[in-house]
Structure formats: structure tokens, C-alpha cells
Structure 1
Amino acid sequence: MRITQGCFSFLPDLTDAQITSQAQYCIEQGWALGIEYTDDPHPRNTYWEMWELPMFDLADAAGVVRELVACRQAHPEKYIRINAFDSTHGWETVRMSFIVNRPAREPELVLTRQEGPGRNQIYAMTVRPAS
């Protein structure tokens, strides 16, 4: 199963050159970049672990790529994403987020449904570890 979260998630994995191009685009927009990682890809898990500090005032994407390489070396079997934050309105808004690393075997998300009172349907999503 392939986890689909963020921009480009329905496309094949981005190459390093494509990641660099996207990071450069974000920098040209004036957005700060951050790298995060997790082993829990549940859609409601919005709080991934932050890799280093967010990167402000970058001139080119080389700094982002350097940190991405270090994060991949430290966490090769985790999900890693790049987030682009726009602070032009006085608060940080995520403008772009995309996965740049996946584990070799991805866990499976399972949707279960139960009958509730009054014919209500109760849904729950659980993560089944990769086998």
C-alpha cells in the first residue's frame, strides 16, 4: 500500500533533482523550509518529528538537500517530508508539503465500520504494520 499525503503523493516518487527544483521554487516564493520524519503515517498524525530547525533566508536549495541527505542517512526506513511555510501574513501557513522518503515496506491503513446507536455508522482507521 502506498501512503498518499501532501503534494505529488499520487505521482511516482520524486527524484533528487525534482526535489531540489521544488525546494528552489519554495525558496523563490520566500517560504521557509522544514524537514520532518515519522514512522506513523496515520492521516491524523500531523505532528511529525522535526529534523533540525526550519530553514529561513536560504538563497538556494543546496542547504535543504544537504539536510535531507543527513536525515535520510539517520532515518532510512521512515517517512520524511519537506514542508514549506509562508509567514507573509504574520502567521506560518503550510503552502506545500511533500514526502521525499518512504520505508521499503509501507504499513497498511485499514478502515473499519461499526453500527452505532440510531443506525449511525462509526468509522475508525488503524495502521497495520508492514509484513
Structure 2
Amino acid sequence: MSEMQDYKSRLSDPNSRKLGTFSYLPQMDSDQLRKQIQYIVNNGWNPAIEHTEPKQATSNFWYMWKLPMFGETDVDRILGEIELCKKANPGNHVRLIGYDNIKQSQGANMVVYRAPIEV
């Protein structure tokens, strides 16, 4: 078995902070993001977009971008809303959530845009 890797994430270094499971992986390209959105849609989950300032990213509270997209199945429309959120909030991180209305929980949660962090 290979040795476990230590991720040097520290509060003192905002650029090192991890924001969910996907943040330990390389940044998703547009095709990979599209597949994740399709996964949310295929599971019947309701997509929602949130954003926050990088210094507040570890907080439980992120700002909601519009209302959740109840019943939305068009991947391009969801991608379009992500882009609108990024343009309206250029200094903020943006995340996509897939709400599972049966289990009343989040089925998916991923940061889809990390804003540049000013130190």
C-alpha cells in the first residue's frame, strides 16, 4: 500500500485551503464539469448555485445565487447560470449543489470556480 499524502492545508495560507472532496483533485475541465452536472440531473437532484468571498469559504453560509433550479434538466442552462454567477461575483468562489429532495440532503456539492485569492 502506498504512503498517505499530507495535504498542507492551513488557515494561515488561504491558497492551501480545501473546499470539499473534489478540491483534493486537479481542477475539472469543462467536459468533466458537464459530466458532473449530467450526473446531478440523471439522479433527479435539483441544482443550486452558491457563491462566497474566498476569506469566508470555510464558513457554513454561502450566498444563494437565485433560487435552486427545481426540476432543471438542461445541462447547458445550468452551465449558463454558473457563468452568470461568476460574472456577477468575479471575486467569489462558486459552488454547485445537487439537492436530493427524497433524502432531504445534498447529493452532490462541488466548487466549480475558485476566485483568485488576494493575500
Do Structure 1 and Structure 2 share a fold, with TM-score over 0.5?
yes
Matched, 1:48 2:49: no
Provide the alpha-carbon RMSD of the alignment.
1.3
Secondary structure at 2:72's aligned position in 1? coil
Structure 1 position 25, deviation (Å): 0.6
Give matches, 1:1-131, under 5 Å: 1-39=15-53, 40-42=56-58, 45-89=59-103, 92-105=104-117, 130-131=118-119
Q: Tell me the TM-score normalised to structure 2 length.
A: 0.79
* Identity between Structure 1 and Structure 2 (%): 29
| Structure with more strand by fraction | 1
Closer/same/farther in 2, CA of residues 72 and 26 from structure 1, 3 Å limit = same
Asked if 2 retains the 8 angstrom alpha-carbon contact of 1:32 and 1:85, the reply is yes
More helix as a share of residues: 2
User: Which stretches in structure 2 are left out of the alignment for 5+ residues?
Assistant: 1-14
Equivalent-residue separation in structure 2 for 1:20 and 1:2 (angstroms): 26
Give the equivalent residue in structure 2 for 1:117.
none
Shift of 1:21: 1.1
User: What residue in structure 1 maps to residue 7 of structure 2?
Assistant: none
Structure with greater contact order relative to length (CA < 8 Å, sep ≥ 6): 2
* Superposed CA offset, 1:52-109 (max 9, x none): 11012122311110100101111122111001110114xx20111000111212xxxx
Secondary structure of the equivalent of 2:23? coil
Is there any run of 5+ residues in structure 1 with no aligned partner, and where? 106-129
Larger gyration radius, structure 1 or structure 2: 1
- Secondary structure of 1:63 counterpart: helix
CA distance in 1, matches of 2:21, 2:57: 15
Give 1:96's aligned amino acid.
A
- Report the alpha carbon displacement of residue 51 of structure 1 after superposing the two structures with TM: 0.4
- How many Å separate the matches in 1 of 2:111 and 2:102? 24
